[in-house]
Structure 1
Amino acid sequence: MKIAIFDVSHWHFPLYLSPLGDPGIEVVGISDSEAFAGTRFAQQLNCKLFDSNEELLEEEFDFALVFSRHSRMAGLAERLIERGIPFLIEKPCGLDLQEVRRIRQLAEQRGVYVSVPFINRVSDWAARLSPAEGFTPEGFQHLSFRFVVGPVERYERNGCGWMLDKQQAGGGSLLNVGIHFIDLIATLTGAPITHVSAQARTYRPDVTVDEQAVLTCQNAAGQIGVIETGYLYPSTAEDQRDFAFSISHSTSYIRGYADQLYLKARDQAAGQSITVEYNTDAYYPVFLRRSWADLAEGRPPFAGLREAEHAMAVLEAAYRSAANGGAPQTVEHAP
């Protein structure tokens, strides 16, 4: 399979390198609009670095990976859809809900496969919260997630300073980090999020996206969730983020922290703890390989543009709420 990769300076791209060396995979070319990491990755992948996305689009390839600025994602996605080329596109897939809805509709009309890496869906720890493990969707009572990653300076160091500009990124920690847990809550409960209330703060005067946010949500089944995000953790290579969660289910209470998942069944006096992998970086290769397998077998994407659209609808409602002092907002859903 011939692969084209657009805008490799995105901070997530290195997480996808392993599958690109799989048997049968040939990278025909890469682009780098940010002119930051393209030369290095072209050498590493032994492929051509094209001068622009437009030049790379003229090549022949079977599958694309899209890592562009959020403000440029939808336009590039449209070009690929018009050519009928399947692709994986990083969240949020566009600058706003309108853009994501437009490319979702276009992809469905043209029958083009598009996957979106909501990587919690392929994680070992989320699998332990599935119906197969006794956690029925209707049994969830409350879901709370905290995911605080490194400070805004890390984006600047990695050639992604545009992530701190709302006109280019669309949002900050709530969009970039919280979107995964918006999708996870909807996935676990099997019901779309319908109402939200949110608060957000920015600390550095030259940053125009949220560096901290708290979202409270309710879904169509009445279940409640809380998502706390931030660009506040003093991260290092060995210790990148603060991640913890607590979930109440009719059968059990579950907590996740450090490298432990603690489960206490309601009919047992003692709980049990198991070691799990919470490093989300490990799941990007899993998701890409799953995307290729689904495409080859004719299956729909494990997560795609419709799921991205739902998450963006929730995020837009959340940002409206934050701009209005946390006033509750109704989420706009596609028909």
Structure 2
Amino acid sequence: MATAGPDKPSLSIRNECVNVVLLEVSHWHTPLYLDALERLADVTVTAVSDATGTRGAALAERFGARLFDDWQTLLQDQPADFAFAFGPHDELHAMGKTLIERRIPFAMEKPCGLTRQEVLELQRLADAADLFVAVPLIWRHSELLSRLKSAALHTGVKWRTQSFRFNAGPPDRYLTNSCAWMLDPRRSGGGCTINLAVHFVDLVEQICAERIRSVSAVMYRDPQLAAVEIGSMMTLVTESGCICTIETGYNYPANTPEQREYSFSLSSDRFYARSTAAGMRLIDSNGQASDLQMSLNSDVYYDHFVTDVLAADRDTAYGGARLATMHTVLSIIEAAYESDRLGGLPVRL
């Protein structure tokens, strides 16, 4: 799998320093944010919270920041210009409300709450406060999406089918990362569907540029391994009839350099696209192929996300996901869980 991504975006110049706080840094994605936060000259991490006591001390030392035992105390005691909000899914709604009440712009890890109603409430509160809130649906910041959009725009494509397959490591990796709550559906909202498929639901909508009209899904569970689903197959149908499948799981073996398996294929009336070891191959209707090198490792794009949300011109320039996007995506995810409860019957949106 290719590891080289596009050049890192530059931060718009500003005159003042931005004081950033990190909430509940035991989250497994936290390390993906740190290099950008350390690199940006006008950004200072002033405080971190870690209720688990596992990662916070090391990060506080790395950034010369204050350490708090919980996010509530941090927000009471520490002024902030921007927050990165991690933490258990069942705490994200309260965390978001507190940040909005304190008028602190923030980026919040998906799914931003346990239900679409929680996310909708945050969206309405943030809109009423005219507050910037971003969500790292990370393929928005990828070269893959920009290349596919460019090819579709250039050819006037009509999409036929899209298929995405993403298998991450086994469930016990969350125990290793002090995130046991991820395996408790009451705290996480579910397994690989709400955790992984959200990224590809958004990617499908971005590529197709149209709404999803129906959702069907079946999920695999093994109570001896986890209380959440560890395999999921979703089928989405767009307004124009494009059929999109999204397979996700916690099934890839541990202790491997690649950590996961990711592949995709997309068909249209103009070209066929599929993943390769080095990026993507585009094959036109005459059979002529072109190979595009890009990173299909989503981890590298968190650096871009951090840079984008901390840019001085983010209010006008930011093109990534926001709470409204997360609400739409979570509505589709909830329909997938409902379909699974119905034995895989389609749910119309």
- TM-score under structure 2 length normalisation: 0.90
Is the CA contact (8 Å cut-off) linking 2:37 and 2:306 kept in structure 1? no
Deviations 1:19-62 (A, max 9, x none): 11110111110001222211121122221111221211021110
Provide runs of 4+ in structure 1 moved above 3 Å: 131-138, 294-301
Q: Which runs of 5+ in 1 are unaligned?
A: none
Residue among 24, 27, 48 paired with 1:30:
48
- The equivalent residue for 1:71 is 90
Q: Which moved more, 1:253-262 or 1:165-174?
A: 253-262
What is the rounded CA distance, in whole Å, between the counterparts of 1:316 and 1:136 in structure 2? 34
What is the rounded CA distance, in whole Å, between the counterparts of 1:94 and 1:241 in structure 2? 25
- The equivalent residue for 1:148 is 167
What is the rounded CA distance, in whole Å, between the counterparts of 1:152 and 1:207 in structure 2? 7
Deviations 1:205-236 (A, max 9, x none): 25221100000011233222100000000143
Residue among 18, 25, 44 paired with 1:8:
25
Secondary structure of 1:11's aligned partner: coil
Deviations 1:242-282 (A, max 9, x none): 1100001221000113323111100x233222332111100
What is the rounded CA distance, in whole Å, between the counterparts of 2:316 and 2:146 in structure 1? 23
- The equivalent residue for 1:242 is 261
- The equivalent residue for 2:73 is 55
**C-alpha displacement at 1:135, in angstroms?**
5.7
What is the rounded CA distance, in whole Å, between the counterparts of 2:249 and 2:155 in structure 1? 30
What is the rounded CA distance, in whole Å, between the counterparts of 1:169 and 1:176 in structure 2? 8
- The equivalent residue for 2:132 is 113
Residue among 186, 190, 205 paired with 1:171:
190
Residue among 297, 300, 315 paired with 2:333:
315
What is the rounded CA distance, in whole Å, between the counterparts of 2:230 and 2:153 in structure 1? 36
Residue among 116, 126, 129 paired with 1:97:
116
Residue among 33, 37, 42 paired with 1:20:
37
Query: What residue identity is the alignment partner of 1:249?
Result: S
Q: Which runs of 5+ in 2 are unaligned?
A: 1-17
Q: What does residue range 283-302 of structure 1 map to in structure 2 within 5 Å?
A: 283-293=301-311, 295-296=313-314, 298-299=316-317, 302=320
Cα RMSD after superposing both structures: 1.7
Is the CA contact (8 Å cut-off) linking 2:308 and 2:318 kept in structure 1? no
Count of matched residue pairs: 330
Higher normalized contact order (CA 8 Å, seq sep 6+, divided by chain length): 2
Q: Which moved more, 1:155-164 or 1:133-142?
A: 133-142
Query: What residue identity is the alignment partner of 1:12?
Result: H
Secondary structure of 2:217's aligned partner: strand
What is the rounded CA distance, in whole Å, between the counterparts of 1:156 and 1:105 in structure 2? 34
Is the CA contact (8 Å cut-off) linking 1:116 and 1:305 kept in structure 2? yes
Question: Does residue 290 of structure 2 align to residue 272 of structure 1?
Answer: yes
